[in-house]
Structure 1
Amino acid sequence: MFAGFNLQGLDDEFLSSYKGAGEAVYNQQKNKVRKELDRFALDDGSLDGSALQDDWFPTIEADIFLSHSHGDQKLTMAFAAMLKEEFGLTAFIDSCVWGYADDLLKKIDDVYCKNETGATYNYNQRNFSTSHVHMMLSSALTKMMDKAECLIFVNTPRSITTRDAVEAKTKSPWIYSEIATSLVLRKKKPDRHDSLIKHMKFEAAEKKQTLDVSYNVDLSHLTPLSMADLSLWHHQVGEIRGWNTHPLDRLYLITRVLDFKTYQR
């Protein structure tokens, strides 16, 4: 990953013409494969966790990883459609994998975690299965973050709460975990660049509503991305000063992640 952005101010009006296409983009990324658990059974009776993860949470080729709250899913879908239509950039929508985590967990729990009566689940076994599925999901999201060149966090009141001008908080353990992960992921310059350039990155996820726990979130390593920046990028679909640039390089130049004078043509 080369750069990460903290996008604030994204609204429905700016993306109104992309709403219909947004759902199509989302559906293209949804994994429609539904395999039964016995396909992943090993000789010793255990499940092949690696095969399960590859099947249920496959990685895709994407230029941008879009991190967002579940409450902003339609907004993010429209944003992904805009990125595809205007810049030819493929955006991965992180909520594409969330539903599958719950579906997989339900399949496992129904087979391995029910009490003898079959009416309820065993608490300890249920905790054990949840830890495995969440580990698979976390690993899959980390791989996608690492593969994508750019991350954009759709920062809204649904994902981040701010108590004051400095301290940002999230009630989602996944957003907390993913932003922390973005701090330590390896920094990789795009192959089209001839020199190493300073960059940043980021990630987040959706928040659960059943347990209300807050975490401090450090967003300082993410480059601010305003609606003015987004609008300027949107209008620079053509050339800059007479020479062609990759769409993401135009974004990096606008936000000063990339220095124009030192950029290698």
Structure 2
Amino acid sequence: MNDNVNELIKIGKEIFQDTQKKVKSTLDDYLLDNKRLDGNKIINEWFPEVKAHIFLSHSHKDEELAFLLAGFFHEAFNIYTFIDSAVWGYSDDLLRQLDDKYCKNSDGNYNYLKRNYSTTHVHMMLSNSLNRMIDNCECIMFLNTPNSIVTSNEINNKTNSPWIFSEISTSMIVQKRTPIRVQQKIIVFSSKKMSSLNENEQQQLLIDYNVELSHLINLNEEDLENWLETSKNTNAEKALDDLYAQHPLDKRFIIN
């Protein structure tokens, strides 16, 4: 990837923006004429226009890395990646629409209790939609960086992202369905790449969640190089099959 990083990031960003448009269009369709959310429609549809091979879970601080990987997978293997921030990144916009309509007092300030109510609904619906997308995609990859996971000791891993906590938890319990073309189990992926924490941030509420990563096994740089060598310029399904064939297919993987 080093020879063409900027171009791959651009391609990945275009994939993300395409997904984001579909997500926004779908969620906007859930708003009834009176700006109430159509809960049944959300439950029944869950982003039907978004079709992807890989679900990519990441911290918002690693967005550029997510774009880079999505661009790489697309150019090397014709794989379409669903970048999860296309959903949770839009949640604030959706909340603002509802809060501006329903959660303001007569003085123009937001009502705390009403905002709690709207936030709970939107976050629960979007969390469920992400879980459905995880289930619909063939495999899930997780960018395991210091921005997403804090290792408190040799055993415990923690995250302060509720979205990451939800997605990793789902990856443990979601049914592993074998593709018709493959007679072994689907593999769940994770990715680990060190990144710096140089941002000056204002004090904010941080809540840590214990995250179980023992069901994920490492994929390293050599594995990705071998995958690229054997599968470049093939179709997405053949590329994924080649990746599965590199390792015992009853295991799951983390990329280091």
Out of 68, 73, 76, the residue aligned to residue 86 of structure 1 is: 76
Q: In the aligned structure 2, how far is the partner of 1:151 from the partner of 1:82?
A: 16
Distance 1:122 1:37, change over 3 A: farther
Q: What are the residue-to-residue correspondences of 1:247-262 with 2, within 5 Å?
A: 247-257=239-249
Shift of the alpha carbon at 1:133? 0.4
Distance 1:73 1:53, change over 3 A: farther
**1:75 counterpart residue number:** 65
Q: What are the residue-to-residue correspondences of 1:88-237 with 2, within 5 Å?
A: 88-118=78-108, 120-193=109-182, 195=183, 197-201=184-188, 210-237=204-231
How many pairs are equivalent?
Answer: 235
Unaligned runs of 5+ residues in structure 2 are 192-202, 252-256
Distance 1:53 1:41, change over 3 A: farther
Match of 1:211, as an amino acid? Answer: L
Length-normalised TM-score, structure 2:
0.80
> Relative contact order (alpha carbons < 8 A, sep ≥ 6): 1 or 2 greater?
1
Shift of the alpha carbon at 1:188? 0.4
Greater Rg, structure 1 or structure 2? 1
Contact kept? 2:55, 2:139, Cα under 8 Å? yes
Query: 1 or 2, which has the higher helix percentage?
Result: 2
Q: In the aligned structure 2, how far is the partner of 1:46 from the partner of 1:21?
A: 36
Length-normalised TM-score, structure 1:
0.78
Out of 25, 33, 47, the residue aligned to residue 25 of structure 2 is: 33
Shift of the alpha carbon at 1:210? 3.1
Match of 1:26, as an amino acid? Answer: F
Q: Which moved more, 1:52-61 or 1:211-220?
A: 52-61
**1:18 counterpart residue number:** 8
Unaligned runs of 5+ residues in structure 1 are 1-11, 240-244, 260-265
Q: 3-state DSSP class of the match of 1:30?
A: helix
Contact kept? 1:86, 1:234, Cα under 8 Å? yes
Shift of the alpha carbon at 1:105? 0.4
Match of 1:227, as an amino acid? Answer: E
Match of 1:213, as an amino acid? Answer: I
Q: In the aligned structure 2, how far is the partner of 1:121 from the partner of 1:95?
A: 26
